[in-house]
A and B are shown apart, each in its own frame.
Chain A
Amino acid sequence: MKIGVLIKQVPGSEASLRILPDHSWIDESTLEFEMNESDSYALEEALQIVEREGDGEVVAISMGPEPRTTKVLREALAKGAHRAIHIVESPPYEIDPLLVGHIIKNAIAEEHFDLLFSGLQSNDLSQGQTGLVVGELLGMNTATLVMATEMQDDHIRVKRELEGRWFQWVTIPLPAVLTIQSGINQPRYPSLKGIMGAKKKEIRIVPKETVLPEVEKTQSFGSIYIPQKEKKTVMIEGDATTVVQKLVDVFKHEIKIL
């Protein structure tokens, strides 16, 4: 069983983001990046499948600049991925999911993965398309919003999340692409031994220029900006004691629940 996991580096959820003066992107110079949340669930699921099956290989794949991409790939290796592929990209980043998909496909086609996982969306652009695009380009079967997996010879049975708290089991033949929903498992922390071992594992470097596709860009954006606030929220201000007293007043006199 050979499983590839697509991993993106995104700003940490607590990061305070600033827009560049020309509004072309956010200022990345002081930002900490981390493994995209649902991608870390995807990685964990791949590791668990290989452990359950008793053999196989997990390959972590990420496209992005130094040093943050190496950082998340090293983290994946420390958690147990066997090797990694780094598609090296420097700004401006490609944001068209079709182009990104073609680039990744070109970089990994020769791997012939049985399974290719990604998180269901990234917490930066949240387009939720890359995994499926790569899968479609490679002629793989697909399933999204996966909340459980079960290997069955040359098929995989997956529990898909539907809307309104419904679920459904779906079985698809390999090779297949799955997009993984958060909460499917409890991602592990890397062990000290894992961290030490990761340094010796291979990261194959693929410069983006060497895998550029022949297709044209299909979508793009101009500038990014802070949305206009529409709702008038009454902000309660003051020191902690004052705020608490005002909240009690609001509960009592405005919302009338006390």
Chain B
Amino acid sequence: MDILVFLENQQGTLHRISREAVVAAQEFAREPGLSVAAFWLGTLPPGVAEELNALGVAEWIQVSSPVLNDYSADGYTAAFCELIRQEQPRYIFMGHSYRVRDFVPRVSTRLNRPFISDVIHFAWKEQGPVFTKQIFNAKMVTDMQAQGDGPVLVSFQAAAFSEEKLAAGSPAAREMTLDLPADIVRSRAEEPFQEETGGVDLTAADLIVSIGRGIGKKENIPLAQALADKMGAELGSSRPLVDAGWMPPQRQVGSSGQSVAPKLYFALGISGAIQHVIGMKGSKNVVAINKDPEAPIFEIADYGVVGDILELIPLLTEALPG
């Protein structure tokens, strides 16, 4: 098989980012006519097999080993290396999930083959495929290319490919048992847990005024709060303000915070990093103020203002009726 797609188990379901990786593989395979298969590590939770049986790939492989029943970086690293050794794919595609971040660099090291990470786009060129990647906080991009012979590991940024384009099919199913010694897993994991949200539910908010590092200092936050109060909006924020202890964690929007879809998301001094955008791109309307005309937030904003939020917030608060 030319391309193997890693199908990730996210708390008992097929991770959305894996469906997106299958879409990437389907599109990547089309022009050169490559074959695509997919694989799942460990036991299959109820309902997942039906979904895998309808994927538009040639076959899907269920890879079994006692060490794969729970996730560990050690177990997954060993399984990936063994699977790649046996199947000899040219590409291994996956979503750039937290789990992929956690172990794929180790696979890459063990195989001495490249891991081209967090890709947003690909193109077939004369010299082979190039994989486009954002650099300098998405202000720029570059085209990565693999060197040398052997498998290439590629992860795709969340939402870079739309799962709505997923082509259906009726793949063959295959089981594969890996003989991995139990003592390769040196970590001991406890049960996952969530922290208290303190009663704040940004997901229910119709209007969100959201502030980023552009707010400058903690003492300026009341300015934004006053604007939010006047608009009847909830106050949200990007991660750095939570990291600094200026805003409570339950008000953070993004991949490690809340996912929101309000009628208006008013982004003030937020650059628009992908991890933030993931949490608010479902908003009906996005209005952004940023002093940097190149800020990536303008890529998703419906309305944009290039300006200083510290000047504009008080003026706007005053100008609003009510």
Say if A and B assemble together.
Answer: yes
A249 to B199 alpha-carbon distance, docked (Å): 33
A223 to B130 alpha-carbon distance, docked (Å): 12
Considering the complex, give the chain B residue whose CB is closest to the CB of A256: B263
Considering the complex, give the chain B residue whose CB is closest to the CB of A23: B142
Report whether B302 and A258 are in contact in the complex, using a CB–CB cutoff of 8 Å.
no
Quick check: which of A52-60, A118-126, A188-196 contacts chain B, the rest being far away? A118-126
- The one of B135, B305, B319 that contacts A125, using a Cβ cutoff of 8 Å: B135
Interface size, B (range): 35 or more
Report whether A255 and B144 are in contact in the complex, using a CB–CB cutoff of 8 Å.
no
- The one of A13, A26, A37, A128 that contacts B117, using a Cβ cutoff of 8 Å: A128
- B266-322 interface (Cβ within 8 A of A): 271, 284-285, 287-288, 292, 294, 298-307, 311-312, 315-316, 319-322
Q: Which residues of B contact A145 (CB under 8 A)?
A: 98, 101-102
A245 to B312 alpha-carbon distance, docked (Å): 11
A123 to B303 alpha-carbon distance, docked (Å): 27
A-B contact count (CB 8 A): 239
- A231-258 interface (Cβ within 8 A of B): 231, 233-237, 240-241, 243-245, 247-248, 250-251, 254-255, 257-258
Interface of A is mostly: mixed
Report whether B109 and A167 are in contact in the complex, using a CB–CB cutoff of 8 Å.
no
Report whether B147 and A173 are in contact in the complex, using a CB–CB cutoff of 8 Å.
no
Interface of B is mostly: mixed
Q: Which residues of B contact A129 (CB under 8 A)?
A: 105, 108, 115, 117
- B71-113 interface (Cβ within 8 A of A): 73-74, 97-98, 101-103, 105-106, 108-110, 112-113
Report whether B98 and A162 are in contact in the complex, using a CB–CB cutoff of 8 Å.
yes
- The one of B135, B191, B264 that contacts A168, using a Cβ cutoff of 8 Å: B191
Report whether A123 and B137 are in contact in the complex, using a CB–CB cutoff of 8 Å.
yes
A204 to B150 alpha-carbon distance, docked (Å): 37
Q: Which residues of A contact B137 (CB under 8 A)?
A: 13, 123, 126
Number of interface residues of A (CB under 8 A): 79
Given contacts A224-B135, A233-B302, A244-B315, contact A168 B148 (CB under 8 A): no
A236 to B266 alpha-carbon distance, docked (Å): 14
Report whether A219 and B98 are in contact in the complex, using a CB–CB cutoff of 8 Å.
no
- A177-215 interface (Cβ within 8 A of B): 182-183, 186, 215
Q: List 23 A-B contacts (CB under 8 A).
A: A17-B139, A17-B140, A97-B115, A98-B112, A120-B101, A135-B106, A144-B102, A145-B98, A162-B98, A165-B195, A166-B193, A169-B190, A219-B116, A221-B133, A221-B144, A224-B135, A229-B298, A231-B301, A233-B304, A243-B312, A247-B303, A257-B263, A258-B321
Sorted nearest first, the 8 A-B pairs with minimum C-beta distance are: A183-B243, A132-B105, A218-B114, A219-B114, A129-B105, A136-B109, A169-B190, A221-B142
